[in-house]
Amino acid sequence: MRHRQHSRHRRSRITEQINPAFLSSDDPFGNRAGTEEDYYWRALSGDVTRKDLLPATYLELHEQCYEAWSVNPLASAILEITTSFVLGKGVLVEASEPAVQRILMNFWHDAANQMDERIYTLCHELALYGEIFLRFFVNKFDGSVRVRLIDPSLIDVIETDPEDIETPRRFHRRAINLAGSGIAVSPSQSALPVADNTDGVWFVAGEEVMQFAINKVSNAKRGRSDLATLLPWLRRYKDWLTDRVRINKYKGAFLWDVELTGADRKTLDRKRMEYQYPPESGSVVFHAETEKWTAVQPSIQANDVKEDGRAIKLMIAVGAGLPEHYLSDSSQGNRATAAEMGLPTLLRFQRRQKILKLIFRTILDRVLLEAQNAGKLAREIDTTYDIVFPEIDVTDHLTIAGALQSLAKGLSIASSHGWVSDATAMRILFQMVGEDVDVHEELARIANQPLTTD
């Protein structure tokens, strides 16, 4: 009896994972009644403190975002635009000490890491999945570090501090199965070491695996893809375009209507067999006066629905945080309007740069720590470094240069009269050019730099 109940419970769990609609509509965390836009969200009438999707729903959303990126050109373009703006031609890592720079570059250019390419993967998958799980592999003998990404769909449990949901303790990766076989992979079969085969593996947060998530509230554990809210509208725009292609195809189609005067059924059947294959384009048809040939086109009466498609595309653009002309529609507005519309987007990309900078700094800090643990780097050495991202700017540099010259002259006069301090003048100057510089650190560098004489 106990075995039968266990089998029934196991089948129920499998059904829930395969078909998320299996969840009862009475469950406040699984209720998906409502419109298509509400499909992946639940009513908050139950436990309002939980803001994460159910595991089965999360997996379905995860799969649909990946599918949209794989087959929908618009979804792919949205993610590609984000990656291109955020990372551009790449980033630079600059350390103040040569020994630190050497350690960082050895890691960066290691063939096992290939960070020049991997940074684009990190940025892309962060936008695609809404979160990334970064796993560290450390060689305890030489302190070398390798980084790998874990598919977020494999992480089914995130255990956090009971009093602080923002502090994860460990992550559980479910058992890795061979594709389509349902057989657990043994350690000898897996590319990565597997500690367990049926129960999955627990990873210590911070030491073995680190999570970085975007598009989530403070009391949620999982991130949300940049495409999550766009899925219904991406599908509708694709369907709208498909319908337009079909309509235009049928508008150009026609058929021959052959009218026979005074023909009986036998004559109609004979003519039907004779004209079983319609005449080719450009051919000449001979017939008696008892036959009348007419080309008939379908009267679809499809009016211009350009604005309908634009309305759907605008919904996608708004959800993606992109101006309309970024999505291959330059017919609306002029250059000045486009520049103003692009400002919120550029600020969004700059904010994403800060998130990526945090991720890269976390990785490089771990590299330096392991190098110190292995004795390859002295503990007392200055390990400060900077990560330089490409500038995101569409402003007129000539205009800024003229304004900056006038501002610098005015600040110089104000400083000489004692109206402002040097620190305040520098802060105003750096704000003008949009650089985030610590004024006090910069003044210290100026004081310590050696004097040069002609």
Residue 160 has pLDDT above 70, yes or no: yes
CA 43, CA 27: separation in Å to the nearest integer? 9
Confidence of residue 36 (pLDDT cuts 50, 70, 90): low
Q: Are 411 and 404 in contact (CB under 8 A)?
A: no
Does residue 80 lie within any of the structural domains?
no
Buried/exposed 29-66: b ≥16 CB within 10 Å, e otherwise: ebbbeeeeeebbebeeeeeeeebbbbbbbbbbbbebbb
Does residue 322 lie within any of the structural domains?
no
Task: Provide the whole-model pTM.
Answer: 0.68
For 18-27, 43-52, 131-140, 208-217, which range has the lowest pLDDT when averaged over its residues? 18-27
Does residue 412 lie within any of the structural domains?
yes
| Domain tally, the chain | 1
pLDDT in tens, 344-385: 888 889 999 999 999 999 999 999 999 999 999 999 999 999
Does residue 332 lie within any of the structural domains?
no
Does residue 442 lie within any of the structural domains?
yes
Q: What are phi and psi of 211, to 5 degrees?
A: -110, 140
* Mean pLDDT to the nearest integer, 192-220: 81
Does residue 452 lie within any of the structural domains?
yes
Does residue 233 lie within any of the structural domains?
no
Confidence of residue 306 (pLDDT cuts 50, 70, 90): confident
CA 134, CA 205: separation in Å to the nearest integer? 10
* Mean pLDDT to the nearest integer, 385-412: 76
Measured distance between the N- and C-terminal CA atoms of the chain, rounded to whole angstroms: 95
Does residue 333 lie within any of the structural domains?
no
**Would you put residue 143 in left (φ > 0), alpha (ψ -120 to 50) or beta?**
left
- What domain range includes position 406? 395-454
